[in-house]
Structures are given as C-alpha cells and as structure tokens.
Structure 1
C-alpha cells in the first residue's frame, strides 16, 4: 500500500503548525496527529532537554515534535534513502537544530557502538514485525539509560513481546493503532 504524498502538521512547541513534507513511499505511515498529541501530553514533564532516538523514523514526525517541544537532541534512524532525504530537507527548511539523520537499517544500527538515550520512539513498519528484535537490541545493546521512556506503536490488536523490565505507563488505541508508553526499570517484575 502506498502512502499519498502530502504534508503533516507539527502540533505543539516552537514549530507548532509547521508542515512536514511527506514523500510517496510504500509503507510510510505517519503517526496520526491525535496520537502524537496524546503521547506528548504524557511526555510533557520529561521532554525538556531529552536525548531521543527515533528508530525507523519514516517522516520523523515523532522526533521533530520532540525537538519542537524542547528535546535537545534527536537521532533519526531511517533505512529508506528517499525518506531520509525528505527528513533532512524538512529539518533544514524548518531550521531545526539538534537533529541527526542516520541512513541505516535499524537492526544494523543497534549493532554499532551505543550511546544511551533517555527517550526512544519505536514505530517500525507494521508489516516487518520488528518490535521484539528491536526492543531486544535496545535493551541488550546499551542504547537505553536506566529510566528511559520508550514509545511503542503497533497494530491495534498487537501487544509486542518486550523486555520484562519495560513497564507499561500509559496506552491507548486510535483507529487501527495501539500506542503505548513504557518506562525502563532496573527491576524485573515478580512472577
């Protein structure tokens, strides 16, 4: 299924109402405005100064929204050259500082030497089924700070298998999407 080219809107912060150009690419599925608004309401107390990783960035809407709301740094990892180029162009056009675009496969990127992040957006292409391997790579590869917040977007009826020390903080459903915010802890749950 092809997404139609167009524009999506940043909904809050310094870039409020700015538009991101969205290229026509197979499987590109920007996070809906309503879901982003809910997510960033949940993150409001912790977003200022955050170092974030937007894994499988696509349009980069989540990471750019984070920068707009006060995150100090966002690394965008995207494997599609067209999506990565569109993301670079949007960052340049909006004069957004603190964004770094890495053209790489997400799993391959997680095999690189890590730098820990305090906020991660995990929204892989739904058809790829990458939630569990990406979550494992984040958890075991040194990519997460001790109390990282992890946003996971998946199909409405799918709750991916995630590391047991990722504690569900909030979740919701909108249309065909389940959106959930987890908090990494150092403790494993009691069985």
Structure 2
C-alpha cells in the first residue's frame, strides 16, 4: 500500500497482513484509491483539494485521508477506535511527516461529540460492511457540526 500522487507520492504505508491483529481491516486498494481521486479531482465533481479540511471516519489505516493530504488538503482528522487502526494511522502519519496537518481522534464514529472546530469539506466514510453503521454515523456527524453544508461525502460500505 502506497500514496499514489502528490507531495507524499510513492511512500509505502504500514498495513496489516494475514494473521495480524488487525487482519479484519480492509484498506482501500491503491488502484481503487487512485481511481477515486481521479474521479474526484478530474471528473464531474472537480473537487479542489487545496486547503480542504478532510474528515476520515472509520479511518482504518488512514490511507484515504493521507492521500487527500498528499494532494493538497490542509488538514485531516482521522476517527477510529481500534487499537491496531490507531497504531497504523500514527505510523502512516509519521511516514508521511504529516503530524502538523492531522489529528487522530480515538472515538467511536457512532458516538461523535460536538465538533469543537470548523466543519469539514470532504468526508470519507468507510464503516464495517453490512453493519448498518454508515447512516447513523453521518447523521451524528451532521448534527454535531462536523460536516459543512456543501461538503462532499464519499461513502464505502
């Protein structure tokens, strides 16, 4: 797993392998991530990542948020509760040298507190499959002031 484009291009990210404690994590593959960002920035959405604030809910390895940072986002907040996920996010933020552009919130996306800061322009939502958590997480993020009114939400479930 690596960063596809931008300032961190080519950096190999820490991931999990078979039998690891976090083997249940299913990071978005490089190819899917590359296509997603091509669609976002060059397709009909024409998202300008420069200066964007990104919220990465159920962040897993943090690859989506870090790809956004690499391509010009100003800040990313990673939200996850899993010990292995949080370790991977910390490692990957360090690999990219993105500590000053990110923060890691150890919090259940299903129990988000009120947002103490500005709302986010781009939201990645990648909850566990077939658990029905996405709708509720979005509702809580909206009611808690995490998501800007004109934000784009990318939801994979």
Give ranges in structure 1 of 5+ residues lacking alignment.
1-7, 155-191
Larger of the two Rg values belongs to structure: 1
Q: 1:20 — aligned with what?
A: 13
Deviations 1:147-189 (A, max 9, x none): 10100112xxxxxxxxxxxxxxxxxxxxxxxxxxxxxxxxxxx
- Length-normalised TM-score, structure 2: 0.86
Match of 1:148 in 2: 151
Give the structure, 1 or 2, with the largest relative contact order (CA under 8 Å, sep 6 or more). 2
Secondary structure of the residue that 1:90 maps to in structure 2? Answer: helix
Corresponding residue for residue 31 of structure 1: 28
Match of 2:3 in 1: 10
Separation (CA, whole Å) in 1 of partners of 2:108 and 2:122:
19
Check whether the contact 2:57–2:79 (CA below 8 A) recurs between aligned residues: yes
- Across the two proteins, how many residue pairs are aligned to each other? 145
Contact 2:69 / 2:76 at 8 angstroms: preserved in 1?
Answer: yes
CA deviation string 1:49-78 (max 9, x = no partner) = 100100000010000000100000000011
RMSD: 1.4
Judge conservation of contact 2:53–2:76 (CA < 8 Å) in 1: yes
Which structure has more strand as a fraction of its residues? 1
CA-CA distance at 1:127 after TM superposition: 4.1
Structure having the larger proportion of residues in helix:
2
Q: Which moved more, 1:95-104 or 1:67-76?
A: 95-104
* Alignment partner, residue 93 of structure 2: 91
